Structure 1
Amino acid sequence: MLAETICSAAAAAGLGIAAVTAYRKRYLSAARIAAYALVPLGLVLTGAVGWLAGTAFSPVAWVGVGLLGLSWVLFSTTRRAERRALGKKAREDPSPTAGAAAGGQAGQLKPGKRAKASNQSSRPAAGGAGGGDDFSDIEAILKKHGI
């Protein structure tokens, strides 16, 4: 009841200021002031002020607001932790497809990664016994250009 009285008084004061402004021949400003003054009166007549006042002073409503805030904090922290865990896992194991192909699990790879993984696993290691094969491509290119 108090909130409705305050809003009605604010609307009456605003309309009074709009009347004084119109008397000074500032009609555009007076119309704008009257529009602002009618907003609280409209809220009172629709019942929005009563609902808002009942909600603002209700302990149950504030507990609900607190629970919504806690829920938001939990969602944001778990998403942040999940992103960090995924980033850390990607830094530790940069090419999981190569490890899976070497382990004999090539059937579980994605179709686009199969050819790349099989090429990597069929080549010998860079310092191993077949290291000369890696340089044969380079030698062929150099001979082609006459170097």
Structure 2
Amino acid sequence: MSYPCTAHCPLLTQTRHMMGAEQFAMMKPGSISLSTARGGIHDEAALFSALKSGHLGGAGLDVWEQEPPRHDAPLLSLPNVVASFHTAGVSHGGRRNVARSSASQISSMLNGNRPPHLLNPEVWERFLARRKSVLGDVV
């Protein structure tokens, strides 16, 4: 049986290497360390040692102390490490949809229509006044 352990925190002075040799040693044998928060939260050398010794069963990483990791990064040489880029969930289709939605909202605004996803509604009236000063009374 494997036990996943994930870290979810910002990288701060007090969280740098908070997952080190001592913390990995306290994990149940066979545990899997998942690190998707920020590079530097896990000590890469300590993680490598815990994996290489067999204490940890595996690791899933999409964050690194050096982004992107060097091709010869020791963790990448291990068969029990799965690695991806931190933006693995961002696809070409997803980016295209965001661009299409943004363009649609900009077009709507230029036509004087309040966009459905307006993040700062307090500036809408100011925008309309400025739009009118630049474009006049276009419909």
TM-score, normalised via structure 1 length: 0.25
Q: Which has the larger radius of gyration?
A: 1
Per chain length, whose mean CA-contact separation is higher, i.e. which structure has more relative contact order (CA < 8 Å, sep 6+)?
Answer: 2
Q: Would you tell me which structure has more strand in proportion to its own residues? A: 2
Q: Would you tell me which structure has more helix in proportion to its own residues? A: 1
TM-score, normalised via structure 2 length: 0.26
